[in-house]
Structure 1
């Protein structure tokens, strides 16, 4: 019986590997040829104008919930963010993580697992805020911008994030409408073996601060939803 079970599991594993390899070769795309220069910067400014970047720079508070699990109140100008999940609250100091404070069921932590929870909150925030404000961050110092000629003759904006050693880390190709508004991007990231996977940026909401924020991203195997969106001073 065990021999038959082993053979069955072996066959299943081979099938899974073959399907995975097939999906990789079908879906995987290389980063397209691109050019830096005036055209890339023109596309950048067109997108930033469409999403009202000028107002975004002035906004003090952003609030949102990521996938119904992680809740945020970000004081963007001060560099502080309150991160809540389950019975944990981390008051994350983005300027000096060692000054962050941790509460479990309202009780302030001074010892373990304080450091682990700070690191967890940091990881959550970096990922979850990206899906909220990535278009606004393409002017950051660690970002390179290039224009790409797409198959339909239009132009896309290729954005590459650099690590601390100024080496390429993650790359995204923003696909814009005629007004420069971002509809989706394709991504090449260290965590994803398949390059060029597409994620939508849609169901945008206009906040009280008159900036646009996305509330939904559709990916091949999941949909990311952001709720309770607020932006105010």
Structure 2
């Protein structure tokens, strides 16, 4: 038994060292950029490329996240139906205390489930509409020279579930996002890249992503809809 435990311990040590080497080799520092007018101009160019006016006038957005979380969002009323497993939360995004929690279609008082719905919505909606929110309060914008092209570094100083996260938006010549690189608290490797090039134009004219590809797999956004 002692010999087996020693072997297991040695294997775990080798695994930890290998993981540390991998993390160190893949880790990228957050690039430095310039805050101000030029950064804001690039951000405006990105919004124009994505038809921001259509996003503002779109009332309803529906999608899912990895086939596990399902959403029906009424942007005008600031409410969203968040569904997973046998749970459903009628979430008030501006006033969470007014939200209603259901388990197996029965209304219940469950603060932990409500908080989970808030966290799910914050994360999963980010992967759908993040480009449209870059001028919201608590967001810092920097212009970065990335591979001899202009890129937009966004840092979330407040709000959401993980403030402090940064994303480097890589754009095409028209300003439309093709990918971003991430420096986030939940991923130990800085600079991991995710695609933003599987766009669809919805009924309302809003342009939304249908999936994202990462080195660790894909994020499927389900049957994405935007309508009025």
Q: TM-score of the superposition, structure 1-length normalised?
A: 0.93
CA distance in 2, matches of 1:62, 1:189: 26
Paired residue for 2:19?
A: 20
Which residue does 1:49 correspond to in 2? Answer: 48
Q: Give the length in aligned residue pairs.
A: 225
Deviation at 1:85, TM superposition (A): 0.9
The structure 1 residue matched to 2:184, chosen from 186, 189, 214, is 189
Cα distance between partner residues in 2 of 1:16 and 1:140: 42
Q: Distance in 1 between matches of 2:24 and 2:198?
A: 31
Aligned pair 1:208/2:203, yes or no?
A: yes
Which aligned segments of 4 or more residues in structure 1 are displaced greater than 6 angstroms? none
Give yes or no for contact 2:178–2:195 (8 Å, CA) kept in 1: yes
SS of 2:62's partner is: strand
Map 1:83-162; keep pairs closer than 5 Å: 83-109=82-108, 111=109, 114-151=110-147, 153-162=148-157
Residues 50-89 of structure 1: matches in 2 within 5 Å? 50-89=49-88
Q: Residues of 2 paired with 1:212 and 1:98: CA distance?
A: 31
Q: Deviations over 1:50-89 (max 9, x none)?
A: 1111111111111001111111001112110001111111
Q: Give, in whole Å, the separation in 2 of the partners of 1:16 and 1:202.
A: 35
C-alpha root-mean-square deviation of aligned residues, in Å? 1.2
Q: Secondary structure of the equivalent of 1:202?
A: coil
Distance 2:104 2:7 in 1: 48
- Out of 149, 163, 184, the residue aligned to residue 158 of structure 2 is 163
Q: In 2, distance between residues paired with 1:224 and 1:161?
A: 22
Q: Report the secondary structure of 2:199's partner residue.
A: strand
Which sections of structure 1, spanning at least 5 residues, go unmatched?
A: none
Distance 2:4 2:51 in 1: 60
What TM-score results when the alignment is normalised by the length of structure 2? 0.95
